[in-house]
């Protein structure tokens, strides 16, 4: 079913009106929002956005396909009636554990499709209000902002001399946000009791987990006092609203000037860049975050002199880089080794031995993966990372083709570099590095 993801003009006008009102009156509290959430056009657009994000079903097992097979209009109409009558209640959130790049696992909460649609509708209405308040150094989950913008900001500050860095790590940020303080931040701008009730219900929704033996357990619920599940549509916005308290304090208290320290935040990823005041900046941040009910991980938080050592942020490595031509050093940004390693693992997952898909299908899937990765890692010094990826892609593809075609040798003559990249159409990242920008490439 084709559904447009372009925000309808009527919704855009509402969002613009809310944003301008919030921007013009920083102390205004919005009191008539709930009826916008169950508007027919907003629910339809919310469904289209939720569907485009795909995602696994929640605890009820219901999928988008099932909803559409039984009648989408009827389903949306029923949801609208529930919201209008204040009868809507969220279902429990299904928790799964997903591997973290650095080892370990992080919990992901998966609401039902029904709850994802309502959360998306609420987000469409209230996000413009909070967007007007967010500090300019907050980059996550914001319209017109991206992780790449945060990367550029960090690199720019390093070049300006903010080279004493606090590479911060917040322990389980999404899981530890205190509900009382978070709701206080929300009520600063919203007084509509029905919207506040929705948010509180989502925060208090029980968490259902199934262990390896298939046994289910339930936690959270009405007695929970902290946390907003990663995976919920509304969670990133709430996390940004709460983090904004810290960023606003840093500006209003004068810490930025007193410590010559600038903060760059992307959700729970945080770096503080200073001119010789990293230790003091870390200690100040630790005190403020502790008062907010958050924890700066003392083991994973480190102080770095970026002129002589490197640190990673949002998949990039920042610090000293060397010009290969003349050996000179400069402060640069490049795709981290961990980012390259994660990509090569995903390449391996595409080019698995014995995969039955036709070659054009596999090649296109591989190229989409490579183009998407390069679309993000298109800033700074990237030629060496691109070369490393190209080398791995060639070796993995060559090995795959040798096995598929039962070539008795290693296939270096039959499947040469030129054959793989030029004749068989595999994307060579180095052509993106020296040619057109990735978003303009074939």
Q: Are residues 116 and 233 in contact, defined by beta-carbon separation less than 8 angstroms?
A: yes
- The C-alpha atoms of residue 159 and residue 330 are separated, in whole angstroms, by 9
- The C-alpha atoms of residue 369 and residue 121 are separated, in whole angstroms, by 31
In sequence order, what DSSP letters do the residues of 265-291 get, joined into one string? Answer: EETTEEEEEESS-HHHHHHHHHHHHHH
Q: Is the model more confident about 343 or about 441?
A: 343
- The C-alpha atoms of residue 431 and residue 429 are separated, in whole angstroms, by 5
> What pLDDT was estimated at residue 212?
66
Q: In the chain, pLDDT over 90 holds for what percent of residues?
A: 78
Q: Which whole number is the average pLDDT over 16-35?
A: 97
This prediction's pTM: 0.90
> What pLDDT was estimated at residue 124?
98
DSSP 3-state of 83: helix
User: What are the two backbone dihedrals, phi and then psi, of residue 135, each rounded to the nearest 5 degrees?
Assistant: -70, 150
Q: Are residues 192 and 171 in contact, defined by beta-carbon separation less than 8 angstroms?
A: no
> Over 90: is that where the pLDDT of 433 sits?
no
Q: Is the model more confident about 215 or about 165?
A: 165
Q: Are residues 271 and 165 in contact, defined by beta-carbon separation less than 8 angstroms?
A: yes
> What pLDDT was estimated at residue 435?
40
- The C-alpha atoms of residue 57 and residue 75 are separated, in whole angstroms, by 16
Report the candidate in 97, 282, 122, 287 with the shortest Cα–Cα distance to residue 202. 122
Structure tokens that stand for 368 in this block: 């989409």
> What pLDDT was estimated at residue 412?
77
Q: At what angle do helices 72-84 and 113-131 cross, to 10 degrees?
A: 60
> What pLDDT was estimated at residue 101?
66
Ranking 183-192, 197-206, 222-231 by mean pLDDT, the lowest is: 222-231
> What pLDDT was estimated at residue 199?
97
Other CB atoms closer than 10 Å to residue 349's CB: what's the count?
10
- The C-alpha atoms of residue 398 and residue 313 are separated, in whole angstroms, by 33
Average pLDDT, the chain: 92
Reported as a single tens digit per residue, the pLDDT across 356-380 is 899 999 999 999 999 999 999 999 9
> Over 60: is that where the pLDDT of 299 sits?
yes
- 2 confidence band (pLDDT: 50, 70, 90): low
Ranking 217-221, 333-337, 391-395 by mean pLDDT, the lowest is: 217-221
Strands of 17-134 (E only): list them. Answer: 93-99, 105-110
Q: How many residues does the chain have?
A: 442
> What pLDDT was estimated at residue 355?
86
Ranking 3-7, 87-91, 277-281, 333-337 by mean pLDDT, the lowest is: 3-7
> What pLDDT was estimated at residue 231?
85
Report the candidate in 268, 267, 126, 95 with the shortest Cα–Cα distance to residue 198. 126
Strands of 193-277 (E only): list them. Answer: 206-210, 216-220, 261-266, 269-274
Structure tokens that stand for 84 in this block: 């209008």
> Over 50: is that where the pLDDT of 105 sits?
yes
> Over 80: is that where the pLDDT of 441 sits?
no
Ranking 239-253, 279-293, 298-312, 422-436 by mean pLDDT, the lowest is: 422-436
> Over 70: is that where the pLDDT of 13 sits?
yes
Q: Are residues 63 and 57 in contact, defined by beta-carbon separation less than 8 angstroms?
A: yes
- 382 confidence band (pLDDT: 50, 70, 90): very high
> What pLDDT was estimated at residue 296?
94
Ranking 85-99, 220-234, 264-278, 361-375 by mean pLDDT, the lowest is: 220-234
- List the beta bridge partners of residue 321: 330
Q: Which whole number is the average pLDDT over 105-124?
A: 93
> What pLDDT was estimated at residue 326?
80
- List the beta bridge partners of residue 335: 316
Structure tokens that stand for 235 in this block: 């969670």
- The C-alpha atoms of residue 243 and residue 393 are separated, in whole angstroms, by 39
Reported as a single tens digit per residue, the pLDDT across 122-135 is 999 999 999 999 99
């Amino acid at each position: 079913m084709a559904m447009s993801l372009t925000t309808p003009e009527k919704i855009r006008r509402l969002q613009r009106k809310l944003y301008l009102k919030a921007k013009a009156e920083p102390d205004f509290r919005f009191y008539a929002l709930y009826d916008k959430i169950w508007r027919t056009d907003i629910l339809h657009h919310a469904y289209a956005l939720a569907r485009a994000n795909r995602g696994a079903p929640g605890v009820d097992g219901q999928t988008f396909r099932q909803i559409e097979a039984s009648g989408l209009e009827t389903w949306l109409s029923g949801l609208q009636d529930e919201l209008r009558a204040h009868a809507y209640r969220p279902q429990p959130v299904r928790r799964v554990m997903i591997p973290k790049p650095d080892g370990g696992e992080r919990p992901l909460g998966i609401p039902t499709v029904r709850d994802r649609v309502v959360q998306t509708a609420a987000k469409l209405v209230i996000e413009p209000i909070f967007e007007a308040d967010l500090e300019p150094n907050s980059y996550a989950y914001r319209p017109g902002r991206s992780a790449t913008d945060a990367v550029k900001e960090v690199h720019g500050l390093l070049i300006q001399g903010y080279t004493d860095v606090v590479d911060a790590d917040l322990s389980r940020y999404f899981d530890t946000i205190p509900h009382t303080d978070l709701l206080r931040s929300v009520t600063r701008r919203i007084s509509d009791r029905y919207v506040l009730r929705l948010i509180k219900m989502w925060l208090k929704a029980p968490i259902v987990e199934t262990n390896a033996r298939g046994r289910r357990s339930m936690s959270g619920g009405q007695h929970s006092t902290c946390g907003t599940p990663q995976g919920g549509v509304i969670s990133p916005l709430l996390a940004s609203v709460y983090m904004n308290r810290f960023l606003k304090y840093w500006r209003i208290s004068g810490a930025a000037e007193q410590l010559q320290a600038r903060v760059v935040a992307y959700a729970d990823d945080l770096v503080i860049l200073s001119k010789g005041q990293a230790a003091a900046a870390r200690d100040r941040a630790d005190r403020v975050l502790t008062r907010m009910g958050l924890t700066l991980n003392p083991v994973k938080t480190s102080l770095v002199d970026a002129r002589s050592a490197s640190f990673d942020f949002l998949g990039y490595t920042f610090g000293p880089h060397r010009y290969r031509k003349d050996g000179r050093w400069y402060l640069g940004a490049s795709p981290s080794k961990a980012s390259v390693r994660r990509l090569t693992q995903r390449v391996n997952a595409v080019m698995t031995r014995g995969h039955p898909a036709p070659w054009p299908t596999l090649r296109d899937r591989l190229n989409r993966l490579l183009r998407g990765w390069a679309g993000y890692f298109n800033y700074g010094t990237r030629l060496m990372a691109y070369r490393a990826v190209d080398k791995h892609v060639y070796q993995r593809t060559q090995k795959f083709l040798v096995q598929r075609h039962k070539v008795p040798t290693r296939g270096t003559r039959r499947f040469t570099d030129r054959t793989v990249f030029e004749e068989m159409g595999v994307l060579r990242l180095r052509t993106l590095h020296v040619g057109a920008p990735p978003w303009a490439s074939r």
